[in-house]
């Protein structure tokens, strides 16, 4: 009935005789009629059919606008005011009845009457500069790109280079996009880009990191080149979000991939005011930690050692400072962060759960820039810029003055009355030999030293250096070769008494070489292939006396060596515009090497001292044990339309190195152990499926992913296991199998004054003793929760721009309490008192909840000034909630009394001053 009424009204309106625009004035021309559920295009057609008005607008600006109004003898201004109420759209009606629709600011087609009288003759001549004329000509000129052929293909590749209009330097990070087909690309460090489009007419937009947008009209007839020069001036914009990821979450075949840039991470209130990479990824679905002051993180039910953490190719074994309060990465030197939770690219290997790839800066090629920050706990500084025409560098340092924080911690924490300091250093250099060769040097070092009660000092260090060479064999084939060394070590100095003073140490070194290739076979196939090799040298631990008075007996665990080599090949296959698949295989070979002495046990019986039958000694370089096997990586995407897609994936992984810890969180004293004949490599697979949708022209992103993981040869520990200086560590561990499953939800708002995201994760992580394990069965061989099993996790990150200079941020976190094993009874046996414990991880500590808040103050937005500065002021743990880190028990008057340990039990204010010169 409504449709019939609308049609009748439309016919009546259309039958009304039109009056010539020359016969009536604009203010007298009136509009009447019903406009139910019309698109804006249909609405304007009806207005144009009954009046003399003519509309001019961008279809994209009004794509989501639905008209539901009625008009009776209204002016055009009254009608449009009602239509655009609550939107960003503005209108302007000129004297010729032309209606101009724009977003944000209304257009004005006329100049004030006294416009020219207010400027000098010289200013009149400069009103229209030659550069403006050239730019207008470039924007409206039709560029014919490529040559037509008779192959019948419907798409072509547009390649080009974005350079600065004044300097001619490459513009790194420029976004090249075409709005109709939602196709985008990013200019690389050399300003080069590549984008695939259907043949025909297109409007190409090029946007630099300062927000300036250039455009070109092209007629794409085949593969070809279009170079663009763009304005480099930084423009201050209040509500511009530059991101090439808005559509890649829909179009790329990989799933479980999260990419963060520094601008996004700066919007998250970080502890004590410093941007923190690890805490930033903890706001994403599927990523959790067991609590405050915890080193490492857990991804999709995996242990913390199952995450491969890379920093410009270097493997970082301990990614934290100050008990996990800060990440080990200087935020001023970080370019971007990629987290792979599933669909791990075939070039990565060696870990079961995830890859965190942190990309550092190599410096800009324009001028020397100094950045830094001063907070209540840390200070940092970085310098970057060019050295000559072909070399750039980035240098950074960071340190702490954190003793005051330890003084305000809980009285019963181990950290109380402690002393701590840390530093980290970075130097990255890039040198362009020519258009086909680039050399890059990456160096990194970090050091932590802290003491508890001044009698025991802990220390740990990361060191790495690598040299890379990128070679462009052709326009389609690119190779990257990297060789380097990573070194991690920790130590303990005991000085409680001169007679028992000691030094304890552990260390791991790895030398590595990578050869990674990318070959674009055609428009639909891009192959990746290569070779990776790692030589491990591990010192499992030693102890020696400290000083002449010490009676400590020196002891050392046998050193270990191993060689891990892998080859891989993968193909990103664009089957159709709607369907793509990324598949590949990685084959890994692991050799455990001598010199070493291996204990042998009776086959089919538990690995324990009674079943030890002998030892075999192997010489240096001799292969003791070899493990090998394939790893499969498959992920696919099917686009339902331009704004939504479904994806599925399956991958397998092998891990040859284990972290020995019987704590829920990683501690600096945890020991890494190589796979050997008695401890097998870990193996795992994961199947996942997801749905992705962009809403309101990329303003919102929504995704949901579900997964299931199976894992074998995981390590858990026998009751009372000792890990330090244990030459027979295999006798203290149990081989277990694991499973993890869950669902992850993410809703992100990308643009506007209010932006941020909400994430929710439901996940379970369970273990059970391997069915063929002949030793003790934990919990009777039934499934039991892992130490980091936290079923519910929810995060809210919100940012609101009060103005161009002032903004607020909030971060709210909730998670289920982690599992714990509790004493449930005590009894007397053989004349001594014994404690009876519950099943392993049968109980949970209380749930975790925390809110952080910050106010960010930017300096004025003058482009040309000596220094740009900002302030970050806020509160960590705004509500002062006493979140439990652990629960422990001590006997009081013969009764076991439980206590809750909280690390940050009070609100902690912070203030940080940041600057850029």
CATH topology of domain 130-235: Immunoglobulin-like (2.60.40)
Q: How many CB atoms lie within 10 A of CB 721?
A: 15
Fold of the CATH domain 2-103: Phage tail protein beta-alpha-beta fold (3.55.50)
Residue count of the chain = 917
- For residue 97 the two structure tokens come to 């009845």
For 361-436, strand residue ranges (E) read 369-374, 378-387, 391-400, 419-434
The architecture in CATH of the region 257-916 reads Beta Barrel (2.40)
Q: Note the pLDDT of residue 863.
A: 56
Non-local CB neighbours of 200 within 8 Å, separated by 6+ positions: 219, 220
Query: What is the predicted pLDDT for the residue at 619?
Result: 94
The overall average pLDDT reported for the chain is 84
Beta bridge partners of 118: none
Task: Give the chain's radius of gyration (CA, Å).
Answer: 32
Measured distance CA(295)–CA(454) in Å, rounded: 22
pLDDT at 848: 93
| Three-state SS annotation for 256-290 | CEEEEEHHHHHCCCCHHHCCCHHHHHCCCCCEECC
Between CA 169 and CA 189 the distance in angstroms is: 10
Query: Residue 399 and residue 805: Cα distance in Å, rounded?
Result: 28
Q: Are strands 354-360 and 307-311 parallel, antiparallel or unpaired?
A: parallel
Query: What confidence score (pLDDT) does residue 687 get?
Result: 97
What six digits make up the tokens of 545? 């006396």
Q: From the centroid of its chain, how far is CA 773?
A: 39
* pLDDT < 50 stretches in the chain: 1, 3-27, 115-116, 118-130, 234-245
Q: What is the pLDDT of residues 621-632, one digit of tens each?
A: 899 999 999 999
Bridging pattern class, strands 98-103 and 213-220: unpaired
Q: Domain coordinates of the chain in residue numbers?
A: 2-103, 130-235, 257-916
State residue 404's pLDDT score: 64
Token duo for residue 697: 């022209």
Count of CB atoms within 10 A of residue 646's CB? 15
């Amino acid at each position: 009935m409504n449709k019939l009424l609308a049609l009748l009204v439309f016919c009546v309106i259309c039958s009304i005789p039109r009056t010539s625009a020359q016969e009536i004035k604009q203010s007298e021309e009136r509009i009447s009629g019903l406009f139910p559920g019309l698109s804006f295009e249909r609405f304007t057609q009806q207005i144009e059919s009954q009046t003399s008005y003519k509309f001019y607008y961008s279809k994209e600006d009004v794509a989501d606008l639905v008209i539901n109004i009625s008009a009776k003898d209204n002016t055009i201004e009254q009608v449009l005011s009602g239509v655009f109420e609550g939107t960003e759209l503005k209108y302007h009606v000129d004297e010729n009845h032309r209606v101009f629709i724009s977003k944000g600011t209304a257009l004005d087609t006329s100049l004030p009457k006294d416009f020219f009288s207010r400027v000098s003759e010289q200013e009149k001549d400069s009103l229209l500069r030659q550069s403006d004329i050239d730019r207008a000509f470039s924007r409206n000129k039709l560029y014919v790109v490529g040559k037509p052929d008779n192959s019948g293909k419907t798409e072509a590749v547009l390649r080009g280079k974005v350079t600065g209009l004044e300097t001619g330097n490459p513009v790194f990070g420029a976004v090249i996009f075409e709005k109709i087909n939602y196709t985008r690309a990013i200019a690389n460090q050399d300003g080069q880009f590549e984008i695939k489009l259907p043949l025909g007419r297109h409007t190409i937009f090029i946007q630099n990191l300062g927000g300036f947008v250039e455009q070109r009209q092209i007629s794409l007839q085949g593969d070809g080149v279009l170079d663009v020069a763009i304005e480099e001036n930084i423009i201050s914009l209040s509500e511009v979000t530059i991101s090439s990821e808005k559509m890649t979450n829909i179009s790329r075949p990989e799933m479980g991939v999260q990419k963060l840039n520094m601008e996004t991470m700066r919007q998250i209130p970080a502890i004590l005011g410093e941007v923190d990479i690890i805490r930033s990824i903890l706001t994403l679905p599927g990523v959790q930690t067991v609590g405050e002051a915890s080193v490492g993180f857990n991804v999709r039910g995996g242990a913390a050692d199952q995450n491969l953490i890379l920093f410009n190719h270097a493997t970082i074994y301990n990614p934290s400072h100050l008990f996990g309060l800060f990440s080990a990465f200087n935020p001023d030197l970080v370019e971007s962060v990629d987290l792979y939770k599933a669909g791990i690219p075939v070039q990565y290997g060696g870990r079961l759960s995830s890859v965190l790839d942190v990309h550092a800066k190599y410096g800009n090629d324009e001028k020397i820039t100094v950045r830094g920050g001063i907070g209540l706990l840390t200070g940092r500084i970085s310098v970057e810029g060019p050295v000559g025409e072909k070399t750039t560098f980035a240098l950074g340092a960071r340190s702490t003055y954190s003793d005051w924080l330890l003084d305000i911690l809980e009285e019963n924490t181990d950290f109380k009355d402690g002393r701590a300091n840390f530093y980290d250093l970075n130097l990255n250099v890039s040198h362009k030999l020519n258009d086909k060769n680039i050399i890059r040097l990456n160096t990194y070092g970090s050091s932590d030293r802290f003491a508890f009660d001044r009698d025991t000092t802990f220390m740990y260090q990361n060191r790495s250096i690598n040299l890379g060479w990128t070679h462009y064999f052709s326009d389609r084939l690119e190779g990257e070769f990297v060789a380097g060394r990573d070194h991690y070590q920790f130590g303990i100095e005991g000085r409680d008494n001169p007679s028992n003073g000691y030094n304890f140490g552990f260390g791991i070194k790895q030398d590595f070489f990578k050869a990674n290739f990318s070959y674009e076979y055609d428009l639909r196939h891009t192959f990746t292939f290569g070779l990776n090799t790692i030589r491990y040298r591990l010192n499992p631990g030693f102890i020696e006396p400290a000083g002449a008075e010490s009676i400590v007996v020196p002891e050392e665990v046998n050193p270990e060596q191993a060689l891990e080599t892998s080859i891989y090949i993968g193909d990103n296959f664009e089957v159709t515009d709607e369907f793509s698949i990324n598949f590949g295989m990685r084959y890994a070979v692991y050799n455990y090497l001598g010199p070493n002495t291996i204990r042998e046990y009776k086959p089919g019986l538990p690995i324990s001292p009674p079943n030890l039958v002998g030892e075999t000694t192997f010489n240096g370089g001799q292969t003791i044990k070899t493990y090998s096997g394939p790893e499969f990586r498959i992920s696919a995407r099917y686009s339902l339309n331009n704004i939504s897609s479904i994806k599925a994936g399956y991958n397998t992984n092998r891990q040859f190195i284990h972290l020995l810890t019987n704590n829920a969180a990683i501690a600096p004293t945890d020991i890494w152990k190589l796979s050997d004949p008695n401890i097998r490599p870990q193996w795992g697979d994961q199947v996942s499926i997801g749905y992705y949708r962009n809403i309101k022209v990329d303003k919102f992103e929504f995704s949901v992913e579900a997964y299931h993981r199976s894992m074998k040869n995981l390590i858990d520990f026998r009751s009372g296991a000792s890990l330090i200086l244990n030459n027979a560590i295999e006798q203290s561990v149990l081989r277990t199998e694991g499973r993890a499953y869950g669902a992850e939800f993410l809703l992100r708002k990308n643009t506007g004054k209010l932006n941020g995201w909400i994430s929710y994760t439901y996940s379970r992580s369970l273990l059970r003793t391997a069915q063929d394990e002949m030793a003790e069965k934990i919990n009777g061989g039934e499934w039991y929760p892992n130490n980091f099993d936290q079923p519910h996790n929810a995060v809210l990150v919100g940012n609101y721009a009060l103005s161009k200079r002032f903004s607020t941020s909030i971060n709210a976190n909730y998670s289920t309490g982690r599992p714990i094993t509790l004493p449930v009874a005590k009894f007397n046996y053989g004349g001594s008192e014994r404690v009876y414990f519950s099943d392993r991880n049968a109980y949970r500590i209380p749930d975790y909840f925390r809110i952080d808040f910050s106010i960010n103050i930017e300096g004025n937005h003058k482009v040309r000034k000596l220094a740009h500065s900002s302030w970050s002021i806020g509160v960590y743990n705004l509500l002062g909630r006493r979140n439990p880190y652990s629960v422990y028990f001590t006997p009081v008057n013969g009764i076991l009394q439980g206590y809750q340990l909280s690390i940050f039990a009070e609100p902690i204010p912070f203030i940080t001053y940041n600057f850029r010169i």
